Amino acid sequence: MSSIHPDSIKNIHKLSIAPMMDCTDKHFRMIMRKISSEALLYTEMIVAQSLLYTSKKENFLDFNCEEHPISVQFGGDDPAILREAAQMAQDWGYDEINFNVGCPSPRVCSGNFGASLMKDPDKVAKCIESLKKSCSLPVTIKHRIGVDNNDSFINLNKFVRCIANAGADRFTVHARKAILKGLNPKQNRTIPPLRYDMVKKLKKLNPELLIEINGGFSNIEDSLEALNDFDGVMIGRSVYKHPLRWSAIDQKIYGINNKKPKSASNIILSLIPYIEKHLTSGGKSWDICKHLINLIEGIPKAKVFRNQISIKSIKKELDIEYLLKLASWLKEMGY
């Protein structure tokens, strides 16, 4: 697979779709690529150690060539293991490697990676150095503004400077701190307050660094405004739950005039060959349709349609003929 040139990292990634566990698999990424040809896509977080010790590496690393530009996100804390994972990512054809230092999951943190690593910037720096030395891809990092009581701006700036010196190419900053004890991952996405002011100050003090903002963005207009202060904006749950609300990404963020409307019916029809190939190779319709149902919103009886797709998928009764009928019904209703 051909990759984009690493130097273009400074120019194309104005908007990215956050890595989300159980969400951003290759099927969702294919749906998202029908909505935007330009936004940077991410894999779900891959634990580097798990990748090294599995015989089925394709289960972790495979993606469709249409998904470029695509970044693989690794979690881990062992520089030697990360070095091998980086070499695999480059060989597999990824455009970028992202290092996760933001996940607040207890399971992740108990393995001494994710957000808990922010407490040990020297170790994070060694991990970044190892990733950089073992491949020619851009190496980026996703992190929080702080962890537990270690949430001062001084500590955040020290952390970023340390990681910048290790060679990180871009910083994606979730503008909330992580609370590792007392809040679950879902609560950590909403309860700690957003502190855009801290990330703005970080960018102002480090204008030479590429700093992307993440957290709380729910529409294109707010994203455009944020691009006045930051080098990029990362979108998470909003684009997963309401993908069509972001159908103007290419036009409004990247200035590309798309003549073909991004409607639910058109997207479903364009995915039929991909879905058919997945089913004939032994895949399940639910693998794709669990993401597809989020396209069905804002229309009469949307909930009924979503339930029908879910039930038919789970019962293995959903076939291409039904999806063609669904797309036809949606088109007749103007969606």
DSSP 160-182: HHHHHHTT-SEEEEESS-B-TTT
Q: Which of 23, 103, 109, 289 is labelled catalytic? A: 103
Distance CA 103, CA 291 (A): 22
Token digits for 328?
Answer: 């036809």
| Helix, strand, coil percentages for the chain (3-state, nearest 5) | 50, 15, 35
162 an active-site residue?
no
Token digits for 261?
Answer: 């409307």
SS3 269: helix
Element (H, E) at 142: strand 139-144
**DSSP letter at 144?**
E
Token digits for 10?
Answer: 């400074």
Contact 61, 34 (CB under 8 A): no
Q: What are phi and psi of 263, to 5 degrees?
A: -100, 160
Using CA atoms, how far residue 69 sits from 32, 117, 231, 334, in Å, is: 12, 27, 17, 31
22 by Cβ neighbours in 10 Å (0-12 / 13-18 / 19+) ranks as: exposed
Token digits for 37?
Answer: 């040809």
Token digits for 164?
Answer: 């910048």
**DSSP letter at 4?**
-
Active site residues: 103
